[in-house]
Structure 1
């Protein structure tokens, strides 16, 4: 693409659709680069107002995946590239003080206990392909975490290694502090922890706003606007009739990205369940000292509570919500057959040509339906995980009093999708967080900006590239060894099965 050539020239106007981790971090990175000093940067988000002040825009939107009480901050990856990138991000999270993203209690280093059940490192999936298991992920993550601990001089502090292998259920039970026999093998990384995601995003938004270089706009994108003759995206059409034009459009709308750009075969929106319950001061005191707990075989995780609210989640294959849309920008069929798609007849049918009705998994959140409650199948998985992680009678059977369906943007390999569109000029996509993008907030934008300017490191450029897909209709299942549960669940089908609360 000419847009990403070494002779890159920054556009005069830039529109970033989405103010989550990918969008905000990109905007901030570009404000620091002298080449972009003359570029008008606009960040657009649905940014629906709060319930108490509905007219006030809030960035990011209240149902964005980055808005939550807590997110795991770790460099524990089976992939060395992500382990290195997360290690660089952790260095920023650890910096103290109000001017640091992790300061003022936004980041807490409690340690991270990652375990798996006995299973071979490689297993066969439903399609008969050999893929990494939870145990395979855990052992490779341990090797990378231990290597980074040695490199950073954090091998030990007199009380044991920073990254300590745990062989057997008794060793794991002693490390949990909850008395849980959580798995068969794992390790404790004392150099990981968790962040208050909502507070960190609010801090980062203010950091971007104070640059004075970014305009924030509120509105729902109905579809991207295109110049078909030039094969170029030229802006976005909003639900209220407005059009925002830009020389370069970056779509970083998280799980809503596949509803605006055809990502079939590249990425899909999946709903992941989270459950919350109130706990007593005594339970808070005990659980607040625990490390983050995660079983990679089952995908359940528990983050130490704060403010007497316990949260448990499922990092699984998730639920899809197939929905017919006409908002998704596709590649014209004529292009695939090498015929002239810019004929007058095609231009007359631009809506049909570039925005046909297709089915995509589209987020359904509490802003769409305030009464939404997670599927009973997801609640059962959370309950099973809670009983395994906190085997206390007072907690194990206590009802959840709040829940959330958090929407990932999953890719087949768990790699991000950060690249120019292979067909449409003027369009760059930055998405595919796959449930692990938040921790990179302090450093991700610099790498996205490098990619926009054609300077990205070869390894990340390759990982984050647009992939060749033989069958775009084949369901996307993230097979990186980090997921648990059952694949192929449909949200609305499972919601119809909901019976009495458990």
Structure 2
């Protein structure tokens, strides 16, 4: 495989999520690409209302079991904390409480070890206090929580989400939609990127010679976008454009919201995000008078039969493949306005455990119902693009002679890297992948059947659920 020219005359980026927008910004502000035409195409005008990153909040943390990701996330978080990236309410530091049921998890143990080591490097050489203590918080940055009582004290909701764990007060969360809008405006202000609204139906693959190349993309309305170099960063839709079986797979994660009053917001907004690694259930610190309940689990697959995306069109329909693709309220058929019954039950239990009636704050002038008994104000599915071991995939596709670069496999943890990931992706394009990620992010030599994937150890809950099968079991709107 030959490398793409360092300064291609034209670049097409498919997808305006975190990876795509960040890459567009990095290219547009890099002097090496000052003569390069840059086009970014997405199936919806920005912001896409069913994009995973267009949401109320995302966890921003360095709490990873893998030291390489922990260090990279720590670099990004310093920018969230101290620069314009996190300004104007885009970043809030309320802490992250990593919990588990009895027995704990290896991921949690290793994550605690990594954040402790990073925090030790920040010790003041004279006062020997941690960064937060030196800023007047008066408590350790990281606290080990051995009992449920410790968890209740830290969470301050009257309940708990697990029986043991630790809290890292230097973690936080980002206003996801506001952050994406901020990044979009940064890209637009460069006046270097042409935005195109349209659904890519296929990559434009030149099959006429032994060495195949990508010449851009074909849109479903008949338009053609040509480019010397194509970057595919289509998130959970990537599998519609490449055969990624055994490499990456889209999975749907459950999310719901409960409305609270201004008084309840003030009483609860200082609580840390609480993530139970055993169940995958988590609650992000309340914001904008809403509590977000969700599950970082193994997700639902949505098996879909499509023409083979990499064969010539006349052959593609005779050689279909089955892949998991998103189903949202904008797809055909659209997603129901409720969650499957097992999801509703799981989120209800989380809400009751964390906000038990009689113990959690309750503004009776706002609602006669305690928080745990209120109906969901909204529900949605958030799509991850998973990999066998939870790694990003940031590399050239080996079949297209350096004309196609693939950025996918966010695995539910790409958002927090927003301030730095675009520059890192450009490094990878230029053959300068950080050494600690060369093996992790490279195109795999073998495809691994999805039922053999082990993940990164951070997911909880049941495995093997199929979206349509779960809907057939029942569910009820807005519970």
**Same fold by TM-score greater than 0.5:** yes
Tell me what 1:413 maps to: 389
- Gaps spanning 5+ residues in structure 2: where? 124-129, 359-369
Tell me what 2:161 maps to: 182
CA displacement at 1:103 relative to structure 2: 0.4
Counterpart of 2:21 (choices 17, 20, 24) is: 24
Counterpart of 2:105 (choices 135, 145, 153) is: 135
Counterpart of 1:79 (choices 66, 69, 80) is: 66
1:211-263 deviation digits (Å, cap 9, x = unpaired): 11111111001111111113111111001100001111111000000111111
DSSP 3-state at the match of 1:173: helix
Tell me what 2:371 maps to: 395
How has the CA–CA distance of structure 1 residues 183 and 499 changed in structure 2, closer, same or farther, with 3 Å as cutoff?
closer
Tell me what 1:366 maps to: 329
Pair 1:430 & 2:430 matched? no
DSSP 3-state at the match of 1:209: helix
Distance 1:419 1:392 in 2: 50
Distance 1:361 1:392 in 2: 39
Counterpart of 1:454 (choices 420, 423, 431) is: 431
- Pairing of 1:236-315 with structure 2 (within 5 A): 236-315=217-296
Pair 1:211 & 2:176 matched? no
Q: Is the 8 A contact 2:17 2:53 kept in 1?
A: yes
Q: Is the 8 A contact 1:118 1:135 kept in 2?
A: no
CA displacement at 1:442 relative to structure 2: 0.5
Distance 2:145 2:139 in 1: 12
Tell me what 1:112 maps to: 96
Tell me what 1:464 maps to: 441
DSSP 3-state at the match of 2:424: helix
Count of residues in Structure 1 that have an aligned counterpart in Structure 2: 453
Distance 1:328 1:63 in 2: 23
Counterpart of 2:120 (choices 137, 150, 159) is: 150
Tell me what 2:451 maps to: 475
1:299-338 deviation digits (Å, cap 9, x = unpaired): 01101112211111100000000001126226xxxxxxxx
CA displacement at 1:408 relative to structure 2: 0.6
Distance 2:460 2:155 in 1: 20
CA displacement at 1:9 relative to structure 2: 2.5
Tell me what 2:126 maps to: none
How has the CA–CA distance of structure 1 residues 350 and 241 changed in structure 2, closer, same or farther, with 3 Å as cutoff?
closer
Tell me what 1:382 maps to: 347
Tell me what 2:314 maps to: 351
Distance 1:442 1:268 in 2: 25
How has the CA–CA distance of structure 1 residues 221 and 478 changed in structure 2, closer, same or farther, with 3 Å as cutoff?
farther
Q: Is the 8 A contact 1:194 1:303 kept in 2?
A: yes
CA displacement at 1:40 relative to structure 2: 0.6
Pair 1:496 & 2:459 matched? no
DSSP 3-state at the match of 2:411: coil
How has the CA–CA distance of structure 1 residues 278 and 452 changed in structure 2, closer, same or farther, with 3 Å as cutoff?
same
Q: Is the 8 A contact 1:193 1:292 kept in 2?
A: yes
Tell me what 2:2 maps to: 2
CA displacement at 1:290 relative to structure 2: 0.6
- Pairing of 1:25-104 with structure 2 (within 5 A): 25-47=22-44, 57-59=45-47, 61-95=48-82, 100-104=84-88
DSSP 3-state at the match of 2:185: helix
CA displacement at 1:470 relative to structure 2: 5.0
Greater shift, 354-363 or 310-319, is seen at: 354-363
CA displacement at 1:439 relative to structure 2: 0.4
Tell me what 1:319 maps to: 300
Greater shift, 166-175 or 370-379, is seen at: 370-379
Distance 1:25 1:219 in 2: 20
CA RMSD in angstroms, aligned pairs only: 1.8
DSSP 3-state at the match of 2:97: strand
Distance 1:388 1:356 in 2: 49
Q: Is the 8 A contact 2:101 2:164 kept in 1?
A: yes
How has the CA–CA distance of structure 1 residues 164 and 83 changed in structure 2, closer, same or farther, with 3 Å as cutoff?
same
CA displacement at 1:284 relative to structure 2: 1.3
Distance 1:179 1:78 in 2: 29
- TM-score normalized with structure 2 length: 0.91
CA displacement at 1:281 relative to structure 2: 2.6
Distance 1:370 1:353 in 2: 27
DSSP 3-state at the match of 1:415: coil
1:365-387 deviation digits (Å, cap 9, x = unpaired): 11122643221111111112222
CA displacement at 1:174 relative to structure 2: 1.0
Tell me what 2:142 maps to: 163
- Gaps spanning 5+ residues in structure 1: where? 48-56, 120-133, 331-348
CA displacement at 1:499 relative to structure 2: 3.8
DSSP 3-state at the match of 2:215: strand
Q: Is the 8 A contact 2:308 2:316 kept in 1?
A: no
CA displacement at 1:156 relative to structure 2: 5.1
Greater shift, 485-494 or 17-26, is seen at: 485-494
Distance 2:122 2:319 in 1: 52
